[in-house]
Amino acid sequence: MRIIRPAAGETRLMSKGLSKGLSKRMPAGVAYYTASLRRFGVSALARYLVMATGLVAMTLYTVPEARAGAGVVLATCLWCCWAYFVIESGARAVPALRVGMAARVMLSPSGIVDLAGILPVPIALAAGVPPPTAWLLASLWVIKLAQDSPGFAQLRRVFVLEAKPLASVFALFLIVLFLSSAAMHVIERRGQPDAFGTMPATLWWAVVTLTTTGYGDEVPQTPLGHLLGAVVMISGIATFGLWTGILATGFAAESRRRNFIQTWDLVSKVPFFQTLDPAAITEITHMLRRLEVPERTPVIRRGKVGDCMYFIADGEVAVDVEPAPVHLGPGAFFGELALLGDSLRSANVSTTQPSTLLILDLADFRTAMAHHPELARAIDAEGKRRRSDNQRRRDLDRTGALPS
């Protein structure tokens, strides 16, 4: 089995760079014994724990009994969480300061979230706002959940791509909202002047009815009002159904696009696929099956007949070869010899962590070969080269085994 290692990519986390920078400024003994603590401090888990602790402390700080009994402890906890976010924001800002891009980073969405997490509370306290009220601004820390989340990046892209359909439905919502409010104001204002005597009050009824919340505090009494209310409720269901459909379709399309790009990248890295035209690679990409594999699960066993090859989309596998097992991560592939006519597996492969594998079956691959003659030629050339390499290796082993 030939093993292809993925290209090593650069890390995207500035926090790791901060950890390394701190270790260089520490004495060797201190850096060694605090390495684990520093790695945990810059991890996402630590960030979430600090955020959760701060939000719990902020919530308890609004309770008079808790503030009277443990106000100092809660305030200390809140200041420690605030200090953690200051250090985290500094870790993002320092590299930008060194290259003269501080303003650009601070005005970026991530920079604005950092500033929103550290500036409002001290400013409110300095302005004389009571601490229980000022620390309510710590609720802005929860926005950090969206700071580096791929899911929120996908959500933002879906809103950008579907902006026009969403705006059209919003326009429909406004049309129904104001027309129904005006009509209900005319119909019910005499019988219920407190609930429908003004347009602001009627707008509240229209919003509650359109969103199908229906608090029940404002209910029309006339038959015409009941009819209008029924139309508004049906319109609300239709409007939010359109919004849901647009977003669901957009998410599905964006997920397919992202998966296709990732899969295309994996397929195009296979040496005997690199000479193919885009149509052939696209067809192969659509043939891949996704498989979720738990940790420590055998994927390939030595000596078994192979009928597919595997791409690693996420996770890690270990290939049992001499002199030591080889670990493959996202972007790597294995088992491709099964597509070249070498049906017997030459090594054991198992997962070392929960993994997502993409499978290309031999039957689907042969179908693609029938549609694309250039693929058949590439496979034939690669198979001849592999057989020649294997024969040369056997000849060398036989020569080395002969007595001199």
Which one has a higher pLDDT value, 400 or 304? 304
Q: How far apart are CA 346 and CA 322, in angstroms?
A: 11
Residues in the chain: 404
Kindly indicate the confidence band of residue 390, based on its pLDDT and cuts at 50, 70 and 90.
Answer: low
What is the pLDDT, as a whole number, of residue 8? 37
Q: Does the residue 19 lie in any domain?
A: no
Helix, strand, coil share (%) of the chain residues, nearest 5: 70, 10, 20
The answer to whether the beta carbons of residues 77 and 96 sit under 8 Å apart is: no
CATH number of the structural domain spanning residue 65 = 1.20.120.540
Q: Which DSSP category does 43 fall into?
A: S
pLDDT of residue 306 exceeding 70: yes
What digits encode the pLDDT tens for the residues 63-90? Answer: 989 888 888 999 999 999 999 988 888 8
Q: Which two tokens stand for residue 359?
A: 């499978």
The structure's pTM equals 0.60
Q: How far is CA 284 from the centre of its chain?
A: 26
Summarize the confidence of residues 5-34 as an average pLDDT: 46
For residue 394, report the phi and psi dihedrals to the nearest 5 degrees: -65, -40
Strand-pairing partners, residue 350, are 298, 318
- Considering only residues 145 and 133, tell me which one the structure prediction assigns the higher pLDDT: 133
**Spatial CA neighbour of 108 closest among 93, 122, 88:** 93
Would you give the DSSP letter of residue 351? E
Report if residue 292 sits inside a domain.
yes
Residues 262-273 have pLDDT tens digits of 777 777 776 667
Domain stops at, among 119, 148, 177: 148
Q: What is the pLDDT of residue 27?
A: 54
Do 273 and 358 lie in one domain? The reply is yes
Phi-psi region of 24 (alpha: psi -120 to 50; beta: other; left: phi over 0): alpha
* Mean pLDDT, rounded, for 315-322: 85
Q: Model confidence at 343, in pLDDT bands (50, 70, 90)?
A: low
Tell me whether residue 240 is in a domain: yes
Residues 196 and 166 in one domain: yes
Report how far residue 277's alpha carbon sits from residue 279's, in angstroms, rounded to the nearest whole number: 6
Helix, coil or strand: residue 60: helix
Of 232, 257, 282, which residue sits at a domain end? 257
In a domain, 8, yes or no: no
pLDDT class for 283, splitting at 50, 70, 90? confident
336, part of any domain = yes
> Which pLDDT value is given to residue 387?
62
DSSP secondary-structure letter at 150? Answer: H
Residue 347 contacts residue 320 (beta carbons within 8 Å): yes
d(CA 62, CA 97): 38
Distance CA 202, CA 225 (A): 12
Q: Are residues 280 and 243 in the same domain?
A: no
Residue that the structure tokens 């505090």 belong to? 217
Using CA atoms, how far apart are residues 87 and 42, in angstroms rounded to an integer? Answer: 10
Among 156-165, 265-274, 358-367, 388-397, the range scoring the smallest mean pLDDT is 388-397
Measured CA distances, 284 to 185, 296, 314, 380 (Å): 62, 28, 19, 17
Q: Comparing 11 with 375, which gets the higher pLDDT?
A: 375
Total structural domains within the chain: 3
Distances (CA, A) of 229 to 184, 202, 203, 209, 219: 8, 12, 13, 7, 9
| Domain hosting residue 188, numbered range | 161-257
E strand segments, 25-81: none
